[in-house]
Amino acid sequence: MRRLTFRRPDDWHVHFRDGAMMKAVVPYTARAFGRAIVMLNLTPPVTTAALAEAYRARILSCVPEGVSFTPLMTCYLTDHTDARDLVAGHKAGIFTAAKLYPAHATTNSAHGVTSVETIMPVLEAMAENGIPLLTHGEVTRPEVDIFDREARFAEEVLAPLLARLPGLRVVMEHITTEEGAALVRAHAGRMGATITPQHLLYNRNALFQGGLRPHMYCLPVLKREQHRLALRKAATGGETCFFLGTDTAPHLRHLKEADCGCAGVFSAPVALAAYLQVFAEENQLDAFEGFASLNGPAFYGLAPNEERVAYEERPARIAEEIEVGEAGRLVSLFSGEAAPWSEVSEKRT
């Protein structure tokens, strides 16, 4: 039985939602990770420092007693974002970064940015003040095939923006393509990228095996096998520009299985087991701590967590569903199956 001890990781891309859902899902992330970058695409979105500070307090109220966890807040960018509020919120320690959702690209992105040109003064202020830009990297024009959206975003939006604002630091979140990985690699130092467990484990066949699989539907969607292999190489290859970000995105089961189901994979309960499976399959367990615990903090200028955790290659069966009060139920990654790795709780110090 293989065992691995490493610094407590951080999750650099998390959706907690709000209300009953938040109360149900925060403990899974808080118990596994020291910090998490929190997405603020609520309804309505969190667009100011005051709203972010209030949301952070609500998140902290859901952290289990005795668990040390720090939510890191982002500003949801819109065409009308106040650059002064963003900069002031960053200087006050409220905002860690700002998030660019192209309008209508994914869940609760209707208030997102219609054009990068529209928010250029905000991006210039971010570059001047060292505020990282986090991007949902897809173009949303109807003529662009959904499987090509990320590659087109890298070419049409990000590459020109990087050239125009050389001081801007960018995270391309949840990359799904070899083109996305190549762009980040070419700008390593000022660019980073998060990679989700589902995009490392599955290609787009998983969406259609034996029928439509709504719990495997996320945005950006799963891609061809060549892209999955490129992502595995990026994640496990020891390159510091790539780091862990689950994009865990809870939606109630009945909303996922509807005739117009929601996009998102809820992976928080099994995220570390899923990543460890990938690194074990690639015979790169020695590189896991860098990807999970070191590269992200280094990009954001933070110290890594000192606490150590241990996992062993011991299967543990995952519940079919997770109750969310009276609202409904959640289905997680590996639901009803065995997660291949388990935490060795007595090894935590």
CATH code, domain carrying 234: 3.20.20.140
User: For position 348, what pLDDT does the model report?
Assistant: 40
Asked whether 212 and 205 are in contact (CB, 8 A), the reply is no
Give the list of residues 6+ apart from residue 26 with CB closer than 8 angstroms, or none.
16, 59, 62, 63
The rounded distance, in Å, linking the Cα atoms of 273 and 268 is 10
- The answer to whether position 344 is within a domain reads no
Give me the pLDDT at residue 230, please: 98
Cα(132)–Cα(246) distance, integer angstroms: 19
Residues 269, 28: contact at Cβ < 8 Å? yes
Give the integer Cα–Cα distance in Å for 160 and 183: 12
Q: Which residue has the tokens 């467990």?
A: 197
Q: What is the pTM of this model?
A: 0.96
In the numeric block, which tokens belong to residue 234?
């990026």
**348 belongs to a structural domain:** no
* Residue 247 annotated among the catalytic residues of the structure: yes
Q: Is 14 inside a domain boundary?
A: yes
Find the distance separating the first CA and the last CA of the chain, reported in whole Å: 21
The owner of tokens 């890298």 is 154
What is the helix (H) or strand (E) element at residue 84, kind and residue range? helix 83-91
Give φ, ψ of 68 to 5 degrees.
-95, 115
Minimal CA–CA distance to 98: which of 111, 109, 83? Answer: 83
Domain membership flag for residue 276 = yes
| Domain enclosing residue 235, as ranges | 9-253+262-307
As to burial, measured by CB atoms within 10 angstroms (0-12 exposed, 13-18 middle, 19+ buried), residue 112 is buried
| 248 three-class SS | strand
**Tokens 């209030």, residue located:** 54
Evaluate whether residue 74 is within a structural domain: yes
Residue 310: the pLDDT is 98
**Mind listing the pLDDT tens digit for each residue in 228-252?**
999 999 999 999 999 999 999 999 9
Catalytic residue from among 148, 247, 259, 286: 247
Residues of the chain with pLDDT under 50: 347-349
How many domains does the structure of the chain reveal? 1
* Residue 196 near residue 150, CB atoms below 8 Å: no
Domain contains 23: yes
Residue 341: predicted pLDDT: 98
Distance between CA atoms of 98 and 127, rounded to whole angstroms? 11
Please report whether residue 342 resides in a domain: no
Q: Would you give the DSSP letter of residue 48?
A: S
In a domain, residue 152? The reply is yes
78-127 tens-digit pLDDT: 999 999 999 999 999 999 999 999 877 777 567 789 999 999 999 999 99
What is the per-residue pLDDT for 108?
A: 58
At residue 106, the pLDDT reads 73
Cα–chain-centroid distance for residue 95? 16
